[in-house]
Amino acid sequence: MSAPALTRPAPAASPGRGPARRRRRRGGLAGAALGLLTWLVVLLFFFPVAWMALTGFKQEPDAATSPPRFAFSPTPAQYQSAIGKAGPYLTHSVLIAVLSTLIVLALALPGAYALSVAPVRKWRDVLFFFISTKMLPVAGAIIPLYVIARNLHLLDTLIVLIILYASMNLPIAVWMIRSFLLEVPIGILEAVKVDGASFGRQLRSVVLPLIAPGMAATALICFIFSWNEFFLAVNLTTSNAATVPVYLVSFQTGEGQFWAHLCAGATLACLPVLLAGWAAQDKLVRGLTMGAVK
């Protein structure tokens, strides 16, 4: 369970092992066929993403054709105009995702510390409380959230999504950071004293550098979930704080006729998260399973 993804040396790679070598030779043809199959299946899965990015480079007349056009002269025009139109939405999304992620990290690091390095007595109950909040559907809370936001004049503000996304990602971050902290040898952390103001400083100067890669992965995963969130964004914002998914809603009907523009906008919407996800892919599974699978 602790084997880092894709780094376990395959037994067949060890030199001079008779059976392994024989097996490899025997499986030559079948192995090649399976390799080909792997590529085919994976490319099939990836295809819609590639098609989206590709269609964004088309002129409108090339985008919706029968039969579909695979050869065309690419133009960045759709992307340029999509950046212009999506501008404010992208800004809102970046602000909300980054600020909520910072809040999450600031709350989760000390929280995870108190659940692993110097654990509180009921650390197990607290951990399961955190995870249980993740399991309750947003649909069960959306109505009071809407009414409260409305009464506090927070509808369509950045603040409401920053707070809600922070609460959405905090349990994941606590579990993830805790799993990283548990990998640090206990002796190194023993010097840290849980003691008021100096504790905060020690957390930053001693603990943080030790788990920096883990913190970065956690941040990327929080960013991904905030960026892609749809339900809360659509119901709680309209324009002043509308995020990228809300921008995409406008394509759902009328503008959906302009496929090249639609695909350019959709690709822009996906790009930050694709990059973040590719960067964090070794730690992705840990985030998705709240640290249960490494």
Partner 1 sequence: MAVLAGRGTDAVAWERARSRRRSRRRRLPLLPALVFTIVVTQIPFLLTIWYSLQSYNLYHPYTRHFAGLANYTLIFTDSIFRTALANTVVLTLVPVLASLLLGLGIALLLDRKVLGRGLLRTLVISPFLVMPAAAALVWKFTLLDTQFGLLNFVLGPLGAHHTDWINDHSKLTIITVLTWQWTPFMVLILLAGLQSQPGDVLEAARVDGAGPWQIFRSMTLPHLRQYLELGIVLGSIYVVQAFDAIFMITGGGPGQQTTNIPYYLYEAAFRGFDIGRASAMGVVVVAITIVIATFALRTISGLFSDQGMEGRL
- Within residues 200-219, the interface with partner 1 by CB under 8 A covers 203
Contacting partner 1 within 54-93 (CB under 8 A): 55, 63-68
Q: Does 143 bind partner 1 (CB under 8 A)?
A: yes
DSSP state of 206: I
Q: Does 94 bind partner 1 (CB under 8 A)?
A: no
Contacting partner 1 within 163-192 (CB under 8 A): 163-164, 166-167, 170-171, 174, 182-183, 186
Nearest CA among 222, 137, 207, 126 for reference residue 173: 222
> Mask: binding to partner 1, 116-135, rule CB under 8 A, as x and -?
xxxxxx----xxxxxxxxxx
Contacts 24+ apart (CB under 8 A), 28-33: none
Contacting partner 1 within 7-36 (CB under 8 A): 8-13, 19-20, 23, 31, 34-35
CA distances from 143 to 138, 149, 245 (A): 9, 10, 20
Q: Does 264 bind partner 1 (CB under 8 A)?
A: no
DSSP state of 292: S
Instruction: Kindly indicate which of the ranges 77-85, 151-159, 211-219, 224-232 contains the residues binding partner 1, using the contact rule CB under 8 A.
Output: 224-232
Q: How many residues bind partner 1 (CB under 8 A)?
A: 122
Query: 170 or 219, CB closer to partner 1?
Result: 170
Residue 147, burial from CB neighbour count under 10 angstroms (0-12, 13-18, 19+): exposed
Q: Does 254 bind partner 1 (CB under 8 A)?
A: no
Retrieve residue 69's tokens: 């056009």
Helix (H, G, I), strand (E, B) or coil at 32: helix
